[in-house]
């Protein structure tokens, strides 16, 4: 059952025909060679590329990252090695708030330059679409600075960027014990301004005892709905706070983390068609003990995506290929589920129906790996990067250079 994931059928001896930015046909090589789109042309195909036994996948999609940020959290890493917990560091005013201070001090240029390095490594790994959240600015000016930097990354690198406004990520220092006032600022000033400038494609929040309550998240989601922006939620990462149910109630595109989600939460996600985004990097780095309820998600047919959660505090990783291995080893996904998690289901988590599956009409985003089967992509700890990446019909030969 776990191996019947729609959109992940493997075609042996396959071929793909593209025209401009689109896929025209996918199928067996013999059928593609006699395809009418080829026969109609009086000249030969512009370019034929032999993938020589490689595994051709849709361009990978990292649907949950916080990759625009200032500074690093190496000091905090040392504290954690000495036994101080992530939550404790947060309560002492560190954690997300220390990255907020460093991000506020960084110029757009500085943020763009550090983020470009991360994105360029992702592109070299076969990622052609990624999501980037704000949430380390926490003032209108700094949140907009982060979102503009995120948007600008696709001008310089071969990747599509989906931006998410995460103003409700942490309570900023200047709103200490005044979190309701901060939420009011998020709803009344930040969200309308971000929406007006079309800086965000969706809205996220951190629903947790060290962040915002269900009631506060509800206010943010109601405002997002009013502004016609889809929502997603950091839900049940450290405790069961009913986050999955809340996300489902608002028809969220995705509910992310979900380590502590119970069966009622899983059922709610199934009913609302919300994608469960699993983040093994954060689970590993925070040395969490409780895995997300993969068996229940599978049983209730909730689509599962996998992402890096690339951020300086809980998941300092930019390799989506490594997440394939971690998703299988730590969360018990099958290789097919893991690959679906970075392609078809990741596209669904971003509300994108034009990618994630190789089919006529989809964007010509794909990557060719030296792997015999899907299992070969998931089994090594650190896969060879793809030997070829095509983004929007353009052949990118790794390594990717800034344009």
Tell me how far, at minimum, the Cβ of 315 lies from ligand DI6, in Å: 6
201 forms part of the interface with Fe ion (CB under 5 A): no
Tell me how far, at minimum, the Cβ of 386 lies from Fe ion, in Å: 25
Among Fe ion, ligand DI6, none, the one that 313 touches (CB under a kind-dependent 5 to 8 A) is ligand DI6
Among Fe ion, ligand DI6, none, the one that 206 touches (CB under a kind-dependent 5 to 8 A) is ligand DI6
142 forms part of the interface with Fe ion (CB under 5 A): no
Tell me how far, at minimum, the Cβ of 147 lies from ligand DI6, in Å: 16
CA distance 205 to 214: 10
Stretch that binds Fe ion, among 55-63, 87-95, 218-226, 305-313 (CB under 5 A): 305-313
Residue nearest to Fe ion (CB): 309
CA distance 3 to 298: 11
Among ligand DI6, Fe ion, none, the one that 96 touches (CB under a kind-dependent 5 to 8 A) is ligand DI6
Helix extents (H) in 125-178: 140-156
Q: Please compute Rg for the chain using Cα positions.
A: 21
Whichever of 256 and 365 has its CB closer to Fe ion, that residue is 256
Residue nearest to ligand DI6 (CB): 313
Whichever of 219 and 315 has its CB closer to Fe ion, that residue is 315
Please give the DSSP secondary-structure letter assigned to residue 311.
B
Whichever of 314 and 319 has its CB closer to ligand DI6, that residue is 314
Among ligand DI6, Fe ion, none, the one that 201 touches (CB under a kind-dependent 5 to 8 A) is none
CA distance 241 to 217: 12
Q: What is the CA 35 to chain-centroid distance, rounded? A: 35
Among ligand DI6, Fe ion, none, the one that 298 touches (CB under a kind-dependent 5 to 8 A) is none
Whichever of 8 and 319 has its CB closer to ligand DI6, that residue is 319
């596209």: which residue's tokens?
347
Helix extents (H) in 14-125: 29-33, 36-39, 74-81, 86-91, 96-105, 108-124
Whichever of 26 and 67 has its CB closer to ligand DI6, that residue is 67
Tell me how far, at minimum, the Cβ of 297 lies from ligand DI6, in Å: 19
Tell me how far, at minimum, the Cβ of 64 lies from Fe ion, in Å: 6
Tell me how far, at minimum, the Cβ of 254 lies from Fe ion, in Å: 11
Please give the DSSP secondary-structure letter assigned to residue 173.
G
* Nearest partner of 371 among 52, 55, 95, judged by Cα: 55
Whichever of 17 and 205 has its CB closer to Fe ion, that residue is 205
* Nearest partner of 237 among 202, 204, 203, 273, judged by Cα: 204
Tell me how far, at minimum, the Cβ of 393 lies from ligand DI6, in Å: 34
Whether the bond into 399 is cis, omega within 30 of 0:
yes
Tell me how far, at minimum, the Cβ of 39 lies from Fe ion, in Å: 49
Residue 224 and residue 249 in contact, taking contact as beta carbons nearer than 8 Å: no
Binding site for ligand DI6 (CB under 6 A): 66, 95-96, 99, 169, 206, 234, 237, 282, 309, 311-315
Residue 385 and residue 378 in contact, taking contact as beta carbons nearer than 8 Å: no
DSSP 353-395: -SSSS--TTSB--EEEES-SSHHHHHSSSSPPPPSEEEETTEE
309 forms part of the interface with Fe ion (CB under 5 A): yes
Binding residues for Fe ion, rule: CB under 5 A, are: 309
């Amino acid at each position: 059952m776990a191996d019947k994931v729609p959109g992940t059928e493997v075609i042996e001896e396959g071929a793909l025909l593209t025209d401009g930015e689109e896929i025209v046909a996918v199928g067996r090589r013999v059928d593609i060679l006699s395809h009418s789109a080829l026969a109609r042309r009086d000249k030969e195909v512009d370019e034929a590329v032999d993938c020589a036994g490689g595994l051709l996948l849709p361009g990978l999609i990292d649907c949950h990252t916080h990759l625009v940020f200032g500074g690093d959290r190496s000091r905090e890493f040392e504290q954690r090695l000495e036994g101080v917990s992530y939550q404790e560091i947060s309560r002492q005013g560190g954690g997300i708030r220390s990255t907020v201070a460093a991000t506020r001090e960084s110029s757009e240029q500085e943020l763009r330059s550090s983020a470009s390095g991360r994105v360029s490594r992702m592109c070299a790994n076969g990622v052609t679409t990624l999501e980037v959240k704000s949430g380390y600015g926490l003032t209108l000016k700094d949140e907009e600075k982060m979102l503009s930097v995120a948007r600008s990354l696709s001008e310089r690198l071969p990747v599509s960027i989906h931006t998410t406004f995460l103003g409700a990520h942490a309570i900023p220092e200047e709103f200490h014990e005044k979190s309701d006032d901060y939420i009011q600022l998020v709803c009344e000033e930040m969200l309308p301004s971000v929406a007006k400038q079309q800086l965000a494609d969706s809205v996220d929040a951190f629903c947790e005892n060290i962040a915002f309550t269900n009631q506060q998240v509800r206010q943010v989601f109601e405002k997002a709905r009013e502004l016609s922006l889809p929502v997603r939620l950091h839900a049940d990462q450290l405790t069961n706070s009913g986050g999955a149910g809340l996300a489902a109630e608002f028809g969220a595109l995705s509910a992310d983390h979900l380590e502590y989600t119970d069966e009622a939460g899983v059922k709610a996600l199934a009913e609302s068609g919300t994608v469960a985004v699993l983040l093994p990097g954060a689970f590993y780095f925070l040395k969490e003990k409780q895995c997300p309820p993969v068996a229940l998600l599978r049983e209730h047919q909730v689509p599962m995506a996998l992402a890096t959660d690339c951020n300086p505090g809980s998941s300092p990783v930019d390799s989506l290929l490594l997440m394939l291995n971690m998703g299988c080893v730590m969360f018990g996904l099958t290789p097919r589920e893991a690959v679906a998690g970075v392609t078809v289901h990741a596209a669904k988590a971003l509300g994108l129906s034009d990618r994630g599956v190789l089919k006529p009409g989809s964007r010509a985003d794909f990557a060719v790996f030296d792997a015999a089967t899907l299992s070969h992509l998931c089994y090594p700890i650190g896969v060879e990067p793809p030997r070829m990446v095509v983004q929007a019909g353009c052949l990118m030969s790794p390594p990717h250079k800034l344009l």
